[in-house]
Structure 1
């Protein structure tokens, strides 16, 4: 049976791509046909005559199912600003139905494990009427929540979880991501609070680490738990 998830974060730079790539590579090690998509991105450079986003490139490289860049990241904007503002500046309307069509088209390619990575946080606007969360509702995907473990994460994580529940979607689990060299003050107490309040299992505490073997083991464990 295919497994598909949407990856969101508590804010920008929470570690969504780090988790997405890590899980795709873990699934690949497990022998699964893996697919990763980032339907909309803002912040790109011209590479070989085509605008490409670094996060989307990492996701494309981590997949075992080979797809053209435009399938992985169909909507890409050059400035690193909110997607709906970038689309206004480019005079290019981005809608839920359009993104849903791209994703469902890409998912016709045979696969076992697929991740769709969001942009920013849960309530990112796509246009004047629609939010990125509306896309997840249309796709009806379970959500993996990446929590950036820093000051303010309690409020961000709890509000995000409440919003996901309000949209009648399931949180498959959450990841405590420690991206900094040093843990936040009162880390253990903050983690315990989130474990008590968030309505989903803690999949992993990802440490700041440069040792690939340790990180691979953590992502293997997350994959098994999903």
Structure 2
């Protein structure tokens, strides 16, 4: 069974969850740890000869040292790049937190030292009329790594998300400041505010990168708090 498993959440969509997740895998690989990554739900997939494929899920599959089938990495895939519950409704399907958690648990049985489960969108992305993706994390009882997109409004988004994570009974294992906008006004002041208001460790401060690769992101990540914590 995976020794250290983390749920990677974001303050919003397009804040860099996948790059951070891949960077975490790359950093763990560099330390000689066996790794696995999953993205249980992915919208915005391309039709290929092998079936629907999502670029984010493919990156996680590529970066993991334990090679899994695509269906294990991304068991629920939708073609349109829209909210997953809406994509499911359009296809007459119903997303269920218990089933998604069970799919994740299947991969968690892999003998990995380090595993990441990447969420979709923000913390309260709906699965159906009564469940959100947060319910999956609650069922799995995994610590959370929060990716903060450093842009206008990030302080409010971060504090609200952390409040929700704690209210859901989960622990924030650490957070990552990802500079999503190169010209963000008062970047240093925003970062200092978040540092002062969050008790969880800052795992990485990732600058705006023209070329974003998992290896480049890994160079900024400090895994020590995660490895020592479990």
Could you tell me which residue of structure 2 aligns to residue 208 of structure 1?
208
Could you tell me which residue of structure 2 aligns to residue 223 of structure 1?
223
Could you tell me which residue of structure 2 aligns to residue 43 of structure 1?
44
Could you tell me which residue of structure 2 aligns to residue 63 of structure 1?
64
Aligned equivalents of 1:204, 1:27: Cα separation in 2: 14
Aligned equivalents of 1:123, 1:49: Cα separation in 2: 31
TM-score by length of 1: 0.94
Please give the root-mean-square deviation of Cα atoms over the aligned residues, in Å.
1.5
Aligned equivalents of 1:38, 1:71: Cα separation in 2: 9
SS in 2 for 1:190: helix
Aligned equivalents of 1:187, 1:159: Cα separation in 2: 19
Change (3 A) 1:10 1:138: same
TM-score by length of 2: 0.93
In the TM superposition, residue 76 of structure 1 has moved relative to its aligned partner by: 0.6
Q: What aligned pairs does 1:2-41 form with structure 2 within 5 A after superposition?
A: 2-41=3-42
May I ask how many residue pairs the two structures share in their alignment?
223
Check conservation: 2:6, 2:144, Cα contact below 8 A.
yes
Check conservation: 2:201, 2:225, Cα contact below 8 A.
no
Aligned equivalents of 1:123, 1:56: Cα separation in 2: 20
Aligned equivalents of 1:25, 1:214: Cα separation in 2: 9
Stretches (4+) displaced over 3 A: 210-216
Could you tell me which residue of structure 1 aligns to residue 76 of structure 2?
75
Check conservation: 1:37, 1:71, Cα contact below 8 A.
yes
In the TM superposition, residue 200 of structure 1 has moved relative to its aligned partner by: 1.4
Q: Does 1:199 align with 2:194?
A: no
Aligned equivalents of 2:199, 2:180: Cα separation in 1: 23
Check conservation: 1:161, 1:199, Cα contact below 8 A.
no
Which residues of structure 1 form unaligned runs of 5+? Answer: none
Q: What aligned pairs does 1:129-144 form with structure 2 within 5 A after superposition?
A: 129-144=130-145
Could you tell me which residue of structure 2 aligns to residue 126 of structure 1?
127
In the TM superposition, residue 216 of structure 1 has moved relative to its aligned partner by: 3.4
In the TM superposition, residue 83 of structure 1 has moved relative to its aligned partner by: 0.5
Which residues of structure 2 form unaligned runs of 5+? Answer: none
In the TM superposition, residue 215 of structure 1 has moved relative to its aligned partner by: 3.8
Change (3 A) 1:224 1:119: same
